Amino acid sequence: LTGTSREQRAFQYLLAHAIPGDPHHILQTFDQWCYHCEHLSCVGPDKGRIVERVLLERAPLRVLELGTYCGYGTVLLAQGLPPGARLYTIEGDPRHAAVAEKVIRLAGFSEQTVELIVGPSEEVIPRLREKHGLMNANLVFMDHWKRCYLRDLRLLESHQLLAEGATILADNVLFPGAPHFLQYAKTCGKYHCKVHRASLEY
């Protein structure tokens, strides 16, 4: 009725209640909105702890996120980066990207730390090295369309964008599910696989 999207309404709530420049409080405020007002398909706090643990273990200097959405996962990743690290995040929907850009900057991250790239992942990935300066990624977080997981993993491989020993963290591979991606990751011989059991967001 208001003519604004759920994502825009969530951002208005952040503006009213979150502490600017405090990534942790930004995420907490997002969680409050999603628990009590409207559901958004963000990573959420339960799965967020898995992401935080992986960041702590790996300390990646170059991170690629596929599927920015509202910027929740981006802020989660950015706050766990080691000093000097850079995060590249790709969002296909310009409306979501517009909200995410504001969320990322509200959390206090500059373009030097977090670069938001708007466009379909299959078009952006082949241009990451030449246009955006990403030589290869130590960590890739997949949280976009599940049917694109396998295609985009193969694109990353074919364009040699995965650093040696890189970690691929993919959300929702069991539900709604990315069976072809999962089968490939388990059987191609290039990866050691681990499934993290978690509840759905919110």
Query: Among 65, 91, 152, 172, which one carries the catalytic annotation?
Result: 172
122 is catalytic: no
In whole angstroms, how large is the CA radius of gyration of the chain? 16
31 is catalytic: no
Q: Tell me the one-letter amino acid at 105.
A: R
Query: Among 152, 171, 190, 194, which one carries the catalytic annotation?
Result: 171
Query: Among 46, 146, 186, 190, which one carries the catalytic annotation?
Result: 146
Q: Tell me how long the chain is.
A: 202
Residue 150 CA to residue 30 CA, distance in Å, equals 29
Cβ count near 25 (within 10 Å): 15
Query: Among 7, 65, 152, 201, which one carries the catalytic annotation?
Result: 201
201 is catalytic: yes
194 is catalytic: no
Indicate the SS3 state at residue 139. Answer: strand
143 is catalytic: yes
Q: Tell me the one-letter amino acid at 63.
A: V
Query: Among 31, 143, 164, 194, which one carries the catalytic annotation?
Result: 143
Annotated active-site positions, please?
Answer: 143, 146, 171-172, 201
